[in-house]
Amino acid sequence: MKVVISACLLGVRCRYDGGDSRNELAIKQKDTYQLIPVCPEEAGGLLTPRPPAEIVGGDGDDVLDGKAKVIDVDGTDVTAAYLKGAHHALQVVQSHSATQVILKARSPSCGCGDIYDGTFSGTLTTGDGVTTALLKRHGITVTSM
């Protein structure tokens, strides 16, 4: 079975701060599944490192509907990059016929169920990131770590 997974969970240094979110449980999945790493933010054209970003005015579904934006801590609108990266991730999932996706929790791109609230205060709110929202709209099961 093929599983698309956030590259940062596998130890790839693609987080906004230049680090990774290495997760031993995620890495152990390679013993059972074929893991296909993806970083929607880098795929969308954002550099590593980069200023942290959050969804302002809603969640990933609202971004997809044009009702919210992804803004970095410097005030730059990076919505287009997040949308591009989300569509890239969808293409990866579909081209590999992946049946499961595991993404990084709380990310404005990959968060599943809860994301930061757009105030850069560390406060969480209910919602999905942009990539997660797009994948779910296409009937793809997403979980987070």
93-115 tens-digit pLDDT: 999 999 899 999 999 999 999 99
Q: What is the pLDDT of residue 99?
A: 84
Residues 78/53, Cβ–Cβ less than 8 Å: yes
Tens digits of per-residue pLDDT, 36-70? 999 999 999 999 999 999 999 999 999 999 999 99
How far is Cα 115 from Cα 32, in angstroms, rounded to an integer? 29
Is residue 125 predicted with pLDDT exceeding 90?
A: yes
pLDDT band at 135 (very low <50, low <70, confident <90, very high): very high
pLDDT number for residue 80: 98
CA distance to 48, 85, 86, 97, 138, per residue, from 45 (Å): 10, 8, 11, 24, 23
Q: pTM value?
A: 0.97
Which pLDDT score is estimated for 55? 98
Cα dist from 61 to 8, 35, 64, 113, whole Å: 23, 26, 5, 12
